[in-house]
Amino acid sequence: MNVGVLLMTHEAVGKALISAAHHVMPTLPLQVDAVEIPPESDPDVMRALTARHARALDRGDGVLVLADLYGATPCNIGLSLAELGVHLRCVSGLNLPMLLRVLNYAEKPLDELAQIAASGGRGGIFIDHA
């Protein structure tokens, strides 16, 4: 499998997460890109830009969209790519454990990677009981 990973985030989040992932895994096993949506940007312009990024990432196995916040503009733009013919699954609540889990299971198909992403994101949250 060769799923592309597209991070859809507010400004400065996506690229920072990719940088952190490179710190842990100097060579990423999947193509990962980020589209960061600036405040006051035109959603139609950003949708067209995002569609170009998603199509460049899709090598035939689809694109896993990891969005920072469900219902916010970056997530909504990511979800709208399906209407433009992009084969994708979208998971919101993006965090570094989610991204790393996806990268550790790079050989999995798109639908399974979406489940792995959600599990990794939830599993990376701990409450200290000390």
Task: Judge whether 90 lies within some domain.
Answer: yes
Task: Judge whether 81 lies within some domain.
Answer: yes
Number of compact structural domains in the chain: 1
Task: Judge whether 68 lies within some domain.
Answer: yes
Q: Please state the pTM of the whole predicted model.
A: 0.97
**How far apart, in whole angstroms, are the C-alpha atoms of residue 106 and residue 113?**
8
**What's the pLDDT band for 130 if we cut at 50, 70, 90?**
confident
Q: Each residue of 74-98: pLDDT tens digit?
A: 999 999 999 999 999 999 999 999 9
Task: Judge whether 89 lies within some domain.
Answer: yes
Query: Residue 60: is its pLDDT beyond 90?
Result: yes
Task: Judge whether 129 lies within some domain.
Answer: no
Q: Which domain holds residue 79?
A: 4-122
Query: Residue 38: is its pLDDT beyond 90?
Result: yes
**Structure letter (DSSP) for residue 121:** H
**How far apart, in whole angstroms, are the C-alpha atoms of residue 101 and residue 109?**
14
Task: Judge whether 65 lies within some domain.
Answer: yes
Q: What is the pLDDT of residue 117?
A: 98
The alpha carbons of the chain give a radius of gyration, in whole angstroms, of 14
Query: Residue 1: is its pLDDT beyond 90?
Result: no
Mean pLDDT of the chain: 97
The mean pLDDT value for 53-61 works out to 97
**How far apart, in whole angstroms, are the C-alpha atoms of residue 23 and residue 10?**
21
